[in-house]
Structure formats: structure tokens, C-alpha cells
Structure 1
Amino acid sequence: MFRFFEYLLIAVCVAVLLVISRWIGHLAYSWMPPQATVEAQKVDSLFSFLVSIGAFILLGLVGMMVYSAIFYRASKYDYSEGHPSRGDVRLEILWTAIPTLLVLWIAFQSFNIYQQLDILGLQQIVHLHMPLESEKAYAAPVTDAPKPASETIDVFVKQWDWSFRYPNNITSHELHLPVNRSTRLNMHAQEVLHGFYIPEFRLKQDIVPNRHIDVVLTPIRIGKYRLKDSQFSGTYFALMEADVYVEPLEKYNQWLAQAAREPMTTKNQAVAEYNQPPKTFFKTGWYTVIPSESSIANQRKVGHDT
């Protein structure tokens, strides 16, 4: 009878830990920026699950240590060995099977999110790092099947500037995306490695020179966001930012029509920083690429409602 109540107590403790862990996992949603894409929802769900699992393991281990220290503390002069857990086949199977199944499930969910983003162009990069038997293998075509999208926007990045080309050949230093519509971003880097990073989109994609990286995303939250370069490969990389607007389709089309009539230049923060007097007493002497002014582009002059 005592063993029955012991098992019942363990079951109750596990149930309480599951409830508390799930609550902590639900709190994890508030730790992230607002979800602005469909893909962000799936990433946050996976993150919440990982937090719940971590909380359950942490609370369970701490609870076992506290319970053992209170109820199974050895007497002052007791130096005998405890019951060994090694050699117990059931325990070996249990703590091998459960982590294996968890890792496989997490890998499967991560792969599904990766597939939904439909990131193309990375297979060629892998070919560069794999030993090839012949030049013919290097020239083998890559058969990527692109995922359907409502439109394609070209993303160009260079030191020290982002620019975007829309289907009607409008070029802008602002990224405008219609809400609730899948958009393909065809990304190109001019000279060095760059990183396309928008926290609210849960998207951080490296852009490799001489490679066309395609990403499909679906914005769902109207607002203004900030695109950053996640690769700090040199001076002024922290200043490589651009405004991102998610707006209704009607407003997006209005912006395209207005941008075609109002070409203008944008202020390059890297140039402004370079032209300022040095703020340090000593010069490092490190070589850096001198930033150049941005080219003329079509940008909206009026403000946006966010």
C-alpha cells in the first residue's frame, strides 16, 4: 500500500511539473518581438515547446535533488554506497529513447519550418565545400522547384547599402510588402557576406556573393519594421539598416505608383559616420572600405501610419 501511495505522489508531482512547465513555455511567447509572418508563428511554437521541455527537466532535477536531500540524507557517520543505477536495462532504455524521440521530433519540426520558407540557392554553396571528382560534377545543374508566390522582389546588398527592386522595375531603399500575400525575396550580395535579419519575421538568412538566395515569406501584421545586417564583417556594418513596411495591398500599390513618380536619394548612415571627425585619441590604422553615397532610387516622401 505504501508503494502505491509513493507512485501516486510521483504521478501528482509529474502532473504539477507538466502544468508549470507548460505555463513557462507559454510565457516564452512574450520574450520575443511581435509575430509579423506566418513563419514566425511556427518558430515561436517550436521555441515555446523547447522552453517547456527545458523547464520540465530543470524543475524535475531540482525537485529530485531537494527531495533526496530532505528524505534520504545519510546519517552523520554513514559512508556506505547507495544503490547503483548502472546495469538497470529499463533505465538505460528510458533515458536513451526519450531524448532520441525528442531530438527527432524537434528536427522534423525545424525541417518543416525550413521547407515553408522555401530557401533556394543554398545547394550550390554546399557544392563548393564538398570534394568533387571532376569539373563536370561542379557544373551539374541544381534542380530546385520554386514555391509559388504572389510576386518577387529583388534584394541587393553591398557595402554599405540595401536596395530593393520591385516587379515594375521600381528601385527603393525601403522594403514594402503586401500583407497576407506570399512574397519571394531574391537576394544578392555584391562583394562580401551579408545577413538579412528582421527580428519580427524570425528570419536571419546569410546572403553569399555570386549566389541567388530565394526566401518565401508571408507577412501577417501591418506595421513598420527594421532590416538589419546580421553579419558584422567590418566597419559601419552596424549602420546597414533599412525600413520595412507591411501594408494592405491597396496601400502597397499606391506606394508603387507614387514611388515611380518621385525619384530621390536616401541618406547613407555609413557615409555620415565616416565624414564625422574621429572620436578616439588614437587611430587604429586598420584598413576599411570607404563608404560611397547611395545611388538615386525611388522612395516615398510622405510618412507611414504604423
Structure 2
Amino acid sequence: MTTAAPKKGPNIAAIVIIAVAVAINLLVARLMANWSYSWFPPQASSAAPYVDDLFALETGIGSFIFFGCTGFMGWVLLFNRAGKYDESDGAPIEGNTKLEVTWTIIPLVTVFVIATYSMNVNMKLQTLGPKHKYAIGSDPTALMEIDPIADVGPIDVIARQWSWEFIYPDGVRSSELHLPVDQRVNFRLMSEDVLHSFYVPAFRLKQDIIPGSIISYSLTPTQEGRFRLRDAMFSGAYFSQNQTNVIVESEQAYADWLKAAAGQPLQPGLDPGRALYDRRIARGDKGWATVPPAPAPMVNDPGDPSIPHDA
């Protein structure tokens, strides 16, 4: 008569080690998530806190997975590695249903959490309005309805290779974008040649500008200062120079600037790619083929690019 082997109890030591490791990993992931807030420029729009919170969540989840996987591999290498001359296969784990269900459900839930949070953030931003296609040579602004909850606008944003032009409702034109603080501003984004991108890192917002389409876009700046507008879409040889300042100021200062700019005659605006193109021509027009920069836009206020920006 044989007796059944006694059942083994749970490995308390292993459970304690895993629990401590998970707790430490959670702490490190939380620290990484908090640290991620310092990686960005100042929050200068109403959208920035939502975007930063989403990024912190993704940083925390990614850190937990990264340190968990690398920590597990380090533990195995230190304490469970095979002997020097052991070339045998490891124990087979094929058919472990519990393990397969676990490593399927955990990533699925993680992706759904991030997706749900991302959709909620996108709903709160309420930045992107309608988009209309238009025929070249026609007036695209006639197609676009105004954002009904905007306080200012619409301001026409015209992107070119390689310069920016901003046209305000009263007809004032500028090479630097002026905005009143804590006011929702509506833009009409247009391109006269190729793909561009309206990107202000301090606002945490980016919108591609598509030729042949006019796009309604709105945002609310929340901090006064000078912030950098960058063309984040590769649009040719000098697209990295296609930058200008966004000047966020008080409502009174914004009104005063509009009044002063309206009294100035039109003059050539900023043309940041021209100097590099002229230098190329002076050297014999060598290198990869490119197109000459568009003529500088005629504006009332070209701005002063020598003034340092905050972010």
C-alpha cells in the first residue's frame, strides 16, 4: 500500500521576495512618473496639464514593465543560471493555461486603460474643429465656420516654405503670433505649398497643416511669455528654420499691440530660411536639390527674432 505524497505548502520566502520586488518596482515607477513632469517646457496652455498627466501615466506604466522585466532577467542571471557546462534545455512550460491567460489579460487591460485615458484627454482638449478642402485660387476662409466658444479669432495661420504669416480678424498681419492670455483662440490653418505642422511645445499641441485644406483649430494660452512655434513636419531643406515666436500677453497688451500694428505700413516679414539659401547659392548651389524659399510675407509687424524666448 502506497501513501500519497504530502502536498507542498506555498513558498513563503518566494512570495515575500516577489511582494517586496513588486512594491519597490511600483515605487520606482511612481518616481519616474513624477520625474517626467520636469522633462517638459512650462505648461502654457489649458491642454498642457492633461497631456502631461497622460505622459506621466504612460511613463509610470512603461517604467514598471521595463524594470520588472530587467529585474527578473537580472535575478535569473544571478541566482538561477545554468552551470558552466550545462547545455540541457530548461523545464517545458508549454500548456500552462494559467500563465498564458495571465500574460494575455495583463497587456490587454493595460492597453485599454491607456486608450480610455487618452480618449478622455482628447475629449477634454476640444482643440480640433472641422476641416474643409478648397480649390487652389479660391478663398478658403469662406468655407470655415467660426468656433462658437472661442473668445478671439479666427486668426489665419498661413504656412509656407519656409515662413509663417498670421492674419488677425481686423486685417493686421504679423510674422510672430500674438495671443491674449486666458482667452480661447480659434485659428484657421492653411498651407500654400506642402505639408507643415503647427507645433508649440509649451502648449503641448501639434496639428498638421495639409495643402488644399483649411483646418479649424482652437487653444487657450494660460501663461504670459514668449514661446516657440516650430514646424514639426519635414517640409524641405530649411524646415528646421521655420520657427517663430508666440507672444502671450495680457488682454490689454494684446489690444494695444493690435492697435499699434494696424497703424504700421506693410513691410517684409521674417524669412528665416533665406540666409541659408543665399549662402548655398553663393557657394555654387551644390548639394541636394531644393526649392528657393517663398518670398517673405508682407506684414504690419515682422517682430524681433533676437529677443530670447521662454520655451
Question: Do the structures match in fold with TM over 0.5?
Answer: yes
CA distance in 2, matches of 1:172, 1:145: 21
Match of 2:189 in 1: 187
CA distance 1:246–1:13, shift in 2 (3 Å):
same
Match of 1:294 in 2: 297
Match of 1:138 in 2: none
Match of 1:128 in 2: none
Match of 2:260 in 1: 258
Match of 1:233 in 2: 235
User: Which of 271, 283, 288 is 2:274 aligned to?
Assistant: 271
Task: Give the alignment's TM-score, normalised by structure 2.
Answer: 0.81
Task: Please tell me whether residue 93 in structure 1 is matched to residue 90 in structure 2.
Answer: no
CA distance 1:85–1:271, shift in 2 (3 Å):
same
Question: Which amino acid counterpart does residue 31 of structure 2 have in structure 1?
Answer: W
- Please report how far the alpha carbon of residue 229 of structure 1 lies from its aligned counterpart in structure 2 after TM superposition: 1.5
CA distance 1:70–1:228, shift in 2 (3 Å):
closer
Match of 2:129, SS?
A: coil
Question: Which amino acid counterpart does residue 221 of structure 2 have in structure 1?
Answer: P
- Please report how far the alpha carbon of residue 272 of structure 1 lies from its aligned counterpart in structure 2 after TM superposition: 3.5
Match of 1:5 in 2: 13
> What whole-Å deviation, never above 9, does each CA across 1:236-256 have from its counterpart, x for those lacking one?
322222211111212212211
CA distance 1:53–1:71, shift in 2 (3 Å):
same
Match of 1:204 in 2: 206
Task: Please tell me whether residue 159 in structure 1 is matched to residue 161 in structure 2.
Answer: yes
Aligned length: 288
Task: Please tell me whether residue 28 in structure 1 is matched to residue 36 in structure 2.
Answer: yes
Deviates more, 1:208-217 or 1:72-81: 72-81
- Please report how far the alpha carbon of residue 285 of structure 1 lies from its aligned counterpart in structure 2 after TM superposition: 7.2
Match of 1:105 in 2: 113
Match of 2:212, SS?
A: coil
Match of 1:263, SS?
A: coil
Task: Give the alignment's TM-score, normalised by structure 1.
Answer: 0.82
User: Which of 114, 120, 127 is 1:118 aligned to?
Assistant: 127
Match of 1:59 in 2: 67
Match of 1:38 in 2: 46
User: Which of 82, 89, 94 is 2:90 aligned to?
Assistant: 82
**Paired residues of 1:258 and 1:300 also in contact (CA < 8 A):** no
**Identity over aligned residues, as a percent?**
36
Deviates more, 1:269-278 or 1:209-218: 269-278
For structure 2, the 5+ residue unaligned runs are 1-8, 134-142
Deviates more, 1:255-264 or 1:47-56: 255-264
> What whole-Å deviation, never above 9, does each CA across 1:78-132 have from its counterpart, x for those lacking one?
454433333222211211111112112222222233332431345x68xxxxxxx
> What whole-Å deviation, never above 9, does each CA across 1:121-156 have from its counterpart, x for those lacking one?
45x68xxxxxxxxxxxxxxxx999956221222211
Question: Which amino acid counterpart does residue 275 of structure 1 have in structure 2?
Answer: D
Question: Which amino acid counterpart does residue 26 of structure 1 have in structure 2?
Answer: N
Deviates more, 1:221-230 or 1:79-88: 79-88
CA distance in 2, matches of 1:198, 1:269: 17
Question: Which amino acid counterpart does residue 174 of structure 1 have in structure 2?
Answer: E
Match of 1:269, SS?
A: coil
Question: Which amino acid counterpart does residue 238 of structure 1 have in structure 2?
Answer: S
CA RMSD between the two structures: 3.0
CA distance in 1, matches of 2:22, 2:29: 10
CA distance 1:45–1:282, shift in 2 (3 Å):
same
For structure 1, the 5+ residue unaligned runs are 126-141
CA distance 1:143–1:286, shift in 2 (3 Å):
closer
CA distance in 2, matches of 1:162, 1:274: 17
CA distance in 2, matches of 1:268, 1:23: 44
